[in-house]
Copies of this chain bind each other. A is one copy, B any other.
Amino acid sequence: MATGRTHRPATRSRGIPEATVARLPLYLRALTALSERSVPTVSSEELAAAAGVNSAKLRKDFSYLGSYGTRGVGYDVEYLVYQISRELGLTQDWPVVIVGIGNLGAALANYGGFASRGFRVAALIDADPAMAGKPVAGIAVQHTDELEKIITDNGVSIGVIATPAGAAQQVCDRLVAAGVTSILNFAPTVLTVPDGVDVRKVDLSIELQILAFHEQRKAGEDAGHDDEESDDARAVAAREARRAVREVREAAAKGAPAADAPAGASDRKGPDGDVPAVMPA
């Protein structure tokens, strides 16, 4: 789900299922809201509604943490807040570095959600010498040269990468080499890391593309299909199309019999009728 390489079977060590871990922050947020309103206890049903999940699922999730509820009553809000915080490791604070102080990096640095929840921005790092010394969100940006020293001196184990895609892997390698073992990656690249390092990815354009897919299907279901055929017909068309492509390539090979034909952007042909709209990365 997160790691680019690590084929971890998720939950291994007799711990909490990964899916549950991913929901704990959700519960914590809902509970904190209740806590602020001084609500003493909450039932699984109520809390589940607040967190937007099924109540049975919530109870099962909590059962992995231990039996923290009282039958007939519900859960003690304050106590549960503490237990979840503890389970998530939020009772200590984690120094975090943000690498790549562009628009996004600066926005992250200014994001209030960090400091308030056990995370402390230990440093902002950027490769641009012109940025060095400039304050962002009240913290002076430091140059990439200092990266290793910053990590070591502050005991940083969590790094946030907000650089352009091209620099991400290199930055990642340096972070890992310096001792970082958890990375939150905003760059649109697959990061390769050694075992034992966790990577989570946040990718805006991927999210949008997933939405676009569903959006298109909604539109396609309502109206008559313009560029979409039935599933069976599509499979057949696909097979024909593949054949067409092959023939084109063979013809090309005849024309230029030498090595592998550098079939650039020239001989592409939309077998489904219209010209394929290929867009850059």
Q: Assess whether B188 is in contact with A270, with CB atoms less than 8 Å apart.
A: no
Minimum C-beta distance from A128 to chain B (A): 16
Q: How far is the CA of A32 from the CA of B116 in the complex (A)?
A: 40
Q: How far is the CA of A277 from the CA of B116 in the complex (A)?
A: 12
Minimum C-beta distance from A120 to chain B (A): 11
Q: How far is the CA of A78 from the CA of B190 in the complex (A)?
A: 21
Residue of B nearest to A23 (CB): B206
Given the known interface contacts A32-B280, A181-B218, the answer about A38 and B263 at a Cβ–Cβ threshold of 8 Å is yes
Interface string of A21-45 (1 = CB under 8 A from B): 1101110111011011010100000
Instruction: Give the A interface residue count (CB, 8 A).
Output: 119
Of the candidates A50, A111, A271, the one having the most CB atoms from chain B within 10 angstroms of its own CB is A111
Q: How far is the CA of A235 from the CA of B62 in the complex (A)?
A: 12
Minimum C-beta distance from A38 to chain B (A): 5
For residue A281, CB closer than 8 A to chain B, the reply is: yes
**Using Cβ atoms and an 8 Å threshold, which residues of chain B touch A265?**
35, 38, 78
Q: Assess whether B116 is in contact with A111, with CB atoms less than 8 Å apart.
A: no
Residue of B nearest to A239 (CB): B67
Given the known interface contacts A190-B50, A209-B117, A210-B25, the answer about A36 and B280 at a Cβ–Cβ threshold of 8 Å is yes
For residue A129, CB closer than 8 A to chain B, the reply is: no
Q: Assess whether A78 is in contact with B212, with CB atoms less than 8 Å apart.
A: no
Given the known interface contacts A103-B106, A211-B158, A239-B66, the answer about A227 and B281 at a Cβ–Cβ threshold of 8 Å is no
**Using Cβ atoms and an 8 Å threshold, which residues of chain B touch A91?**
227, 276-277
Q: Assess whether A35 is in contact with B278, with CB atoms less than 8 Å apart.
A: yes
* 10 CB-based A-B contacts, threshold 8 Å: A21-B213, A29-B188, A68-B242, A83-B238, A85-B279, A94-B215, A102-B107, A158-B215, A184-B208, A200-B207
Residues on A facing B (Cβ under 8 Å): 2, 4-5, 7, 13-15, 21-22, 24-26, 28-30, 32-33, 35-36, 38, 40, 50-52, 54, 65-70, 76, 78-79, 81-83, 85-92, 94, 96, 102-104, 106-108, 110-111, 113-114, 116-119, 157-158, 181-184, 188, 190, 192, 196, 198, 200, 202-218, 221, 227, 231, 234-235, 237-239, 241-242, 245-246, 249, 260-265, 268, 270-272, 276-281
Q: Which 4 A-B pairs have the closest CB atoms?
A: A66-B238, A89-B216, A82-B276, A103-B107
Beyond A22-B210, A102-B107, A117-B205, list 5 extra A-B contacts (CB 8 Å).
Answer: A35-B278, A67-B239, A79-B241, A158-B215, A196-B218
